[in-house]
A and B are shown apart, each in its own frame.
Chain A
């Protein structure tokens, strides 16, 4: 009985390790090309990042900002796994890392409101560990709605209301 239990336990541990290992391999398969396609974009994105942290503070939220903090543009369209991605974050559920890449082509086609949405959305993944919402009508306009490209008719007032709604709820 005891032997059977130990066998099951070991099997579970091995399977878990294998799953995490596989996920890690998959992430590395994506992250490396995305990293290689990235470039410095501090000047353009920094004002949006600064406002994100300012607004968190205004709402009494003071998360620790990790040393390992990267937010850059990347030519996501040039890589097959991210070709239809506007932004990607790798620091979700990892409090020691913020690593975000924003599709430069998407950024260039976005209006001001969408630019705020994408930066706040990706930072909310990595800093606040928030997951995407479902693609449903009731979530439209929310910061964690997964399709920012559908927000081309939203205005800054929509962004402000939804940003406050999110931060007030935390």
Chain B
């Protein structure tokens, strides 16, 4: 595992230094360097896998290993490998360099398992949901029984504000869970009827995002169901400036009143293309007191 880390650091540094699109010649040079470092090295002492060498074919970088007699690949070998690479953030260099990666496994000099992961395949698989993050007993959840899945490779952080329960962070994307007590219980029917009134919804959203002006126009909102409970979806954009460079932050909110708590899930980024990722995280939410 430690050696794997070294290999990835080496690769990452090398390809990052090149800067421009990595050429086939660059990949070949890297494979030669890696080959020298990997041969005979015990990659995983627990399973006895040893490095056999690294070669390149065109834009493919292939890692070869010798495995012991009692080694067999497990059923979902490729998925596990891809998940691990994404989880550790190592897929980035393959996507950035547009490099396919291969893993060949030999037993007594006979190839017993091979797999190639296309860099575009990495890009497609890049957004995958991982395990559930349980929020039910979190002190900031105020007794709400919630869990949701975090995306693989995204960092899970504690919320820094008084009502932010958790944050999932990845590059310039952030997804957070907010819970705040509002001082009275609301039934599901009351929430539904509240969300049917556009004027109430307008005021509610203005209050939520802290809009102070009178010219607020609610652009787009709709009532959606998450786990049997009505939620209000809306998006919002805000222009920002940093070091003279202007950019726009786009935020997507799924907000509701659950029991006596205001709860929202918010995904923010500087790209309008990230909605699907935020949607998938929100779609994984389990409200455990609904069924």
Contacts and interface: CB of A to CB of B under 8 A. Distances in A.
Interface string A112-131: 11000000000000000000
B1 to A, nearest CB: 42
B184 A156 contact: no
Nearest to B258: A156
A164 interface: yes
B10 interface: no
B185 A164 contact: yes
Contacts of A113: 289
A113 B187 CA distance: 13
Contacts of B244: none
B184 A155 contact: no
Interface residues of B, number: 14
A55 B187 CA distance: 13
Interface string B252-271: 00000001100000000000
A44 to B, nearest CB: 12
Contacts of B184: 54-55, 58
B183 A54 contact: yes
Nearest to B185: A160
B211 interface: no
Contact-residue size bin, chain A (C-beta under 8 Å from the other chain): 10 to 19
6 nearest A-B pairs in the assembled complex, by CB-CB distance = A160-B185, A160-B187, A161-B187, A157-B188, A58-B184, A156-B289
Nearest to B145: A112
Contact of A55 (B145, B185, B189): B185
A163 B145 contact: no
A51 B261 CA distance: 12
Interface of A: 47, 51, 54-55, 58, 112-113, 155-157, 160-161, 163-164
24 contacts: A51-B260, A54-B184, A55-B184, A55-B185, A58-B184, A112-B143, A112-B145, A112-B289, A113-B289, A155-B289, A155-B291, A156-B259, A156-B289, A157-B187, A157-B188, A160-B185, A160-B186, A160-B187, A160-B259, A161-B187, A161-B189, A163-B185, A164-B185, A164-B187
Q: How would you classify the secondary structure of chain B's contact residues: helix, strand, loop or mixed?
A: mixed
Nearest to B189: A161
Contacts of B188: 157
B290 interface: yes
A67 B183 CA distance: 25
Contacts of A163: 185
Contacts of A47: 143
Nearest to A47: B143
A54 B189 CA distance: 21
Contact of A155 (B143, B183, B185, B290): B290
B119 to A, nearest CB: 47
A63 B108 CA distance: 85
Interface string B176-195: 00000001111111000000
Interface string B126-152: 000000000000000001010000000
A164 B186 CA distance: 9
A113 B185 CA distance: 13
A163 B145 CA distance: 20
Nearest to B184: A58
A59 to B, nearest CB: 10
Interface in B37-69: none
Nearest to B260: A51
Contacts of A164: 185, 187
A156 B143 CA distance: 11
Contacts of A161: 187, 189
**Which one of A47, A51, A157 has the highest number of Cβ atoms from chain B below 10 Å of its Cβ?**
A157
A167 to B, nearest CB: 10
A11 B188 CA distance: 58
A157 B124 CA distance: 40
A112 B144 CA distance: 9
A163 B289 CA distance: 17
Contacts of A156: 259, 289
